[in-house]
């Protein structure tokens, strides 16, 4: 049988195939070279952005992406004006009413206070070794409402562990840590249940102990804004509370493990642009290398509500690195709950005891 003679068309098809193979080889070579120089990274970034653009749940998508990227450290200072207006109501006849309030003060690397004004003029201002306190007195108060106004400007940033480590500055050493290692009212660090729980949370280092305690508190407590103010030992039993209970429990557990910790009360800025805020309690832990570092275990418990691309409201629990404040801002007023506010009075003569109460109205405004 005779062989079929190849035509020019047959040669053309072979050449086309060889050219296609050559182009594939060249493309793969360029692709690999680009990948070695970061080309693959760019492709993955574009893929992730496309994922964000098409995701049904935008917040979940952003959360997934955020886990792959190193967290940016928030260290700039911001400036806020603050006005604390305390209204004291007296029903009945009081010979005098005394009101003591902690005053925001300078805290190295955290906040600096300027243009502080107190109205009316306090009878005295003093320090208890931790807080600055103003004492106000009103005489012959009968069925009256009196006001105390404390205002000023706070140049502030949150000093969390990541910030402290990034700045790497030598803090002022705390001379006496005894009061931050011993039991106190609502911080029963010597209670048997508190001690037993703390032993289970002790790590190889102080930082590990703090992180494990932080995780324990956020995992085992349920947030309840209507809960009564109770001490750490009772919080462990009922396993619920508001910010005060979260802070009290974590402080008590840390002190039981010989980690210096203290309760802090003030305001958390929930919106830096507007200065919107909420009265809040958190804590600070003392590190020999960094000084007092802020921790806020309550924020993890607060659900985050948002709307997806379809307009449906969804609920998401925040995942918070204990070392980071996630850019949250705090203006601290007192580092001891017992001296944050003290209200007292003396009845006039033999008349019935008056009813004395007060409430706070806070206004915080972003300046720059």
pLDDT at 50: 31
pLDDT at 317: 55
Query: Residue 307 is inside which H or E element, if any?
Result: strand 303-307
Query: Residue 71 is inside which H or E element, if any?
Result: none
Could you report the average pLDDT of every consecutive run of 10 residues in the chain (368 residues)? 49 53 46 36 28 38 44 72 94 92 90 95 92 94 94 90 86 88 95 97 97 93 86 94 93 98 88 76 94 87 54 60 78 78 83 86 86
Strand order through the sheet with 111-119? 111-119, 145-156, 78-91, 355-366
355 - beta bridge partners?
Answer: 91
Ramachandran bin of 115, using left for φ above 0, alpha for ψ from -120 to 50, beta for the remaining angles:
left
| Distances in whole angstroms, Cα of residue 209 to Cα of each of 60, 195, 283, 297, 367 | 30, 14, 15, 14, 38
Hey, what's the torsion of the CAs at 150, 153, 159, 163, to 10 degrees? 170
pLDDT at 70: 46
pLDDT at 312: 67
State the residue for tokens 């600096």: 112
In angstroms, the CA 38 to CA 78 distance is: 37
In angstroms, the CA 21 to CA 38 distance is: 26
State the residue for tokens 């249940």: 193
Domain borders along the chain are: 8-66, 78-366
pLDDT at 282: 93
**Candidates 3.10.620.30, 3.30.428.10, 2.40.50.100, 3.40.710.10; CATH matching 78-366:** 3.10.620.30
Maximum Cα–Cα distance across the chain: 136
Q: Are 251 and 259 in contact (CB under 8 A)?
A: no
Q: Are 172 and 108 in contact (CB under 8 A)?
A: yes
pLDDT at 303: 52
For residue 294, which of 319, 264, 253, 338 has the smallest C-alpha distance? Answer: 264
pLDDT at 61: 39
């Amino acid at each position: 049988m005779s062989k079929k003679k190849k035509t020019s068309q047959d040669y053309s098809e072979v050449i086309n195939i060889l050219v296609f193979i050559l182009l594939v080889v060249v493309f793969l070579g360029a692709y690999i070279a680009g990948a070695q120089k970061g080309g693959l990274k760019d492709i993955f970034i574009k893929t992730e952005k496309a994922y964000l653009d098409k995701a049904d749940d935008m917040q979940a998508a952003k959360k997934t992406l955020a886990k792959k990227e190193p967290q940016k450290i928030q260290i700039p200072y911001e400036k806020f004006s603050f006005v604390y207006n305390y209204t004291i109501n007296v029903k009945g006849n009081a010979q005098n009413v005394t009101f003591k309030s902690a005053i925001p003060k300078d805290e190295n690397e955290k906040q600096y206070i300027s243009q502080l004004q107190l109205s009316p003029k306090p009878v005295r201002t003093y320090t208890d070794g931790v807080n600055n306190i103003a004492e106000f007195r009103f005489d012959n108060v009968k069925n009256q409402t009196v006001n105390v106004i404390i205002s000023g400007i706070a140049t502030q940033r949150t000093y969390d562990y990541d910030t402290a480590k990034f700045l790497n500055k030598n803090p002022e050493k705390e001379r006496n840590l005894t009061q931050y290692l011993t039991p106190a009212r609502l911080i029963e660090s010597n209670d048997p249940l508190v001690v037993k729980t703390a032993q289970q949370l002790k790590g190889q280092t102080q930082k590990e102990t703090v992180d494990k305690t932080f995780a324990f508190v956020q995992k085992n407590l349920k947030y309840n804004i209507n809960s009564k103010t109770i001490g750490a030992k009772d919080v462990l039993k009922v396993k619920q509370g508001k910010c005060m209970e979260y802070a009290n429990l974590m402080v008590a557990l840390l002190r039981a493990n010989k980690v210096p910790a203290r309760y802090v009360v003030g305001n958390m800025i929930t919106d830096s642009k507007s200065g919107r805020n909420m009265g809040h309690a958190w804590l600070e832990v003392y590190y020999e290398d960094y000084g007092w570092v802020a921790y806020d275990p309550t924020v993890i418990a607060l659900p985050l509500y948002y709307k997806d691309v379809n307009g449906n409201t969804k609920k998401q629990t925040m995942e918070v690195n204990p070392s980071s404040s996630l850019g949250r801002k705090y203006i601290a007023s007192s580092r001891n709950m017992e001296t944050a506010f003290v209200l007292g009075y003396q009845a006039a003569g033999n008349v019935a005891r008056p009813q004395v109460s007060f409430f706070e109205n806070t206004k915080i405004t972003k300046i720059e």
